[in-house]
Amino acid sequence: MSNTIHTPGLVNVDEHSATSATFVVEPLHSGYGMTLGNSMRRVLLSSISGAAVTSFKIEGVTHEFTSVAGVKEDVVDVMLNLKGVRFRVYGTDIQNLRIVKSGKGVVTAKDIQTNADVEIVNPDHVIATIDDTKGKLTIDLTVEVGRGYRTIEEGTAKKASDYVAVDAIFSPVLRVRYKVEKTRVGQATDLDKLLLTVDTDGSITPQDAFEESSAILVNQYTALAGKTRVAVAPQASETTAAQNSEFSADMLGDEPTALNTSIEDLNLSARTTNALINNDIHTIRDLFALNDAELRDLKGFGSKALDEVKEKLAELEL
């Protein structure tokens, strides 16, 4: 295992949809993939800021264990449906919203009367069903911003006795999965690569949730570290540039696609090609990750093969 603790980077973001994305982080010190993945998963699921209904009042109803005249669902069902409404709230102030619906039909989240500070993320979410043509449903809502999960007893807002308190699920992150794979930097082949998949409810993007969780962890560990600092290696891209004096960045031009050219397409000798492939060097980009000394030390690769590679790269003006 290398003594160097590599500084990781976010090398790729694969957006599956507006609410789901996979983040690829590498290179990580051996074992750090699991450490980072688990800590970020816990923070993502428990500590990302979101908004939820914390209490509500239905006109003509005094407590939750009753029915509502002209409404198919009872108060408990309405409460459960209200918990499923997702909000995007700008700011931290408590929001007081209202629903007023008359006549037979379905009451959905789009019937909530919002203001400039509140958006409804899932407007088609069903809240109740009025089954009487003369029926009317009026609901007052209290929406708060918070983190994680909050029980009724932990609620801070003071409300009149006819308001029904709700245990709130603030977290906008629905699911987090992670996988750890092996990766390499130069001759170091025992490094980790973390693939973290984040699914949200739409009130926050996966990218914003990922960055917020990272910032939370940074704040926590910075407070514990005090003035102590540990020297770490620069990010992989910086390491590569520093190692390769003969293959510096200014030689690469403005065509990153050339770096992805397969070794087999360079028309090198069979011996040189096989030596590179057997050492997991498959593209020109992989070549630039190693300096001359590291290339000579490759199994089955020597000075003559190195000269051949340099000549070929010179022909390609790389």
**For residue 174, is it within any domain?**
no
Q: How far is the C-alpha of 159 from the C-alpha of 19, rounded, in Å?
A: 34
Cα–Cα dist 198/210, whole Å: 8
Q: What's the mean pLDDT when you consider all of the chain? A: 83
146 with 133, same domain?
A: yes
Domain count, the chain: 3
The confidence score (pLDDT) of residue 157 equals 56
Question: What local confidence, expressed as pLDDT, does residue 156 receive?
Answer: 61
Pick the last residue of a domain from 149, 169, 189: 169
The CA distance from 201 to 19, in Å, is 7
Q: Is residue 23 part of a domain?
A: yes
Q: What is the CATH number of the domain that holds 28?
A: 3.30.1360.10
In angstroms, the first-to-last Cα distance of the chain is: 33
User: Residue 1 pLDDT > 60, yes or no?
Assistant: no
Residues 172-198 have a mean pLDDT of 88
pLDDT for the residue 289: 75
Which position has the higher pLDDT, 23 or 288? 23
Q: Quick one: pLDDT band at residue 318, thresholds 50, 70, 90?
A: low
Is 142 a residue whose pLDDT tops 60? yes
Q: Does residue 160 share a domain with residue 53? A: yes
Residue 102's contacts (CB-CB under 8 Å, 6 or more residues apart) are: 130, 135, 136, 137
Residue at which a domain ends, from 134, 169, 204: 169
| pLDDT at residue 255, rounded to an integer | 46
Say if residues 130 and 107 touch (Cβ distance below 8 Å). yes
φ and ψ of 273, to 5 deg: -60, -50
Q: How confident is the model at residue 175 (pLDDT cuts 50, 70, 90)?
A: very high
- 50 pLDDT above the threshold of 90: yes
Residue 87 lies in a domain: yes
Asked if residue 54 and residue 44 are part of one domain, the reply reads: no
Q: What is the pLDDT of residue 200?
A: 96
Give a yes or no: residue 288 inside a domain.
yes
Interval 85-105: pLDDT, tens: 999 999 889 999 999 999 899
Mean pLDDT across 248-264: 57
- The answer to the question of residue 239 being in a domain is no
Residues 43 and 53 in one domain: no
Shared domain for 136 and 283, answered yes or no, is no
Which structural domain range is residue 99 located in?
49-169
Q: How many residues belong to the chain?
A: 318
Share above pLDDT 90 across residues of the chain, in percent, rounded to a whole number: 44
Shared domain check, 143 and 156: yes
In 3-state terms the chain splits into helix, strand, coil percentages (rounded to 5) of: 30, 35, 35
